[in-house]
């Protein structure tokens, strides 16, 4: 059911994005400071001077990328960079981590300490020129994703073992207090990146568990998809019919024994015909 989509191992693969106009998958190796892609069988990559972790699409050729110190626009063709807004630019302790565009055209991005220092990070939203801090303190920001109707956002602080959800207003800003949607702490699971399909089910990568697990809107476990790498980090739906589940993985944190047992760790995997995903939303600058 699953296969290797891209054989290049990432130290910390993250942030997969299926660009709906280009019909092309992009992803990051955060520690390697790279944006990677594949197009018509050609392996592509772009290296940056600082850590990069997540993206959204603005136009066919321009991505919004979350970097270590800012959100910036990146032209895939010219490779020109334009800073959009600073992101904890004076704090050298932190970096960006998980992020995703919301249905209202905003971009949510989490930060965290480079050594996962407790409470060093936060979750922000950029929308039409404004960057606003939404939730803090956060230790490891993850699982940022949205219901198809745009009324609910999900996010996680991985160390808590919980995925939270919060109601959104018509402009996509949180209203009310976040509540626990999913608690997997008793199972010893670590929620990492997540994405919501067209039916409102959340597909959650679980770091250390070699899988992506699907949960209903009520929090019931529906199914799991296993990958041949222990540190599954973030899923994304894509492909011509949006029914391929991609998943980034990581070498980071693996023991020598694990590295020998999982020779495909760090690569990007794909599983076809899993469920139908939402098209990734365009960020409105």
Active site (catalytic) residues: 192
What is the Cα–Cα distance from 236 to 217, expressed in whole angstroms? 18
CA torsion, ordered 277, 278, 280, 285, to nearest 10 deg: -170
Residue 134 contacts residue 169 (beta carbons within 8 Å): no
d(CA 193, CA 202): 10
Give the DSSP letter of residue 159: G
- Measured between alpha carbons, how far is 56 from 65 in angstroms, rounded to an integer? 7
Q: Using an 8 Å Cβ cutoff, are 281 and 17 in contact?
A: no
CB atoms within 10 A of CB 24: 17
Q: Supply the DSSP symbol for 281.
A: P
| Cβ contact 52:33 at 8 Å | yes
Count of CB atoms situated within 10 Å of the CB of 263? 11
Q: What is the CA radius of gyration of the chain?
A: 17
Q: Which of 109, 65, 117 is nearest to 93 (CA)?
A: 117
Tell me the CA end-to-end span of the chain in Å, nearest whole number. Answer: 39
């Amino acid at each position: 059911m699953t296969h290797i989509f891209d054989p290049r191992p990432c130290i910390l693969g993250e942030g997969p994005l299926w660009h709906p106009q280009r019909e092309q998958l992009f992803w990051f190796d955060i520690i390697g400071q790279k944006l990677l892609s594949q197009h018509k069988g050609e392996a592509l990559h772009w290296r940056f001077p600082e850590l990069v972790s997540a993206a959204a699409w603005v136009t066919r050729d321009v991505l919004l990328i979350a970097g270590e110190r800012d959100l910036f626009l990146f032209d895939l063709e010219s490779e020109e960079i334009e800073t959009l807004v600073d992101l904890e630019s004076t704090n050298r302790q932190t970096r960006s981590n998980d992020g995703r565009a919301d249905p209202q055209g905003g971009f949510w991005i989490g930060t965290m300490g480079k050594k996962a220092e407790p409470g060093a990070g936060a979750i922000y939203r950029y929308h039409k020129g404004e960057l606003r801090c939404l939730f803090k303190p956060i230790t490891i920001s993850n699982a940022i994703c949205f219901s198809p109707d745009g009324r609910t956002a999900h996010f996680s602080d991985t160390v808590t073992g919980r995925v939270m959800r919060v109601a959104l207003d018509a402009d996509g800003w949180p209203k009310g207090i976040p509540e626990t949607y999913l608690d997997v702490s008793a199972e010893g699971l670590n929620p990492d990146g997540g994405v919501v399909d067209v039916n409102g089910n959340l597909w959650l990568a679980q770091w250390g568990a070699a899988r992506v697990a699907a949960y209903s809107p009520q929090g019931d476990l529906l199914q799991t998809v296993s990958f041949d790498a222990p540190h599954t980090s973030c899923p994304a739906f894509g492909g011509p019919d949006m029914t391929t589940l991609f998943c980034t993985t990581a070498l980071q944190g693996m023991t020598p024994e694990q590295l020998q047992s999982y020779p495909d760790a760090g690569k990007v995997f794909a599983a076809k015909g899993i469920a139908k995903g939402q098209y990734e939303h365009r960020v409105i600058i």
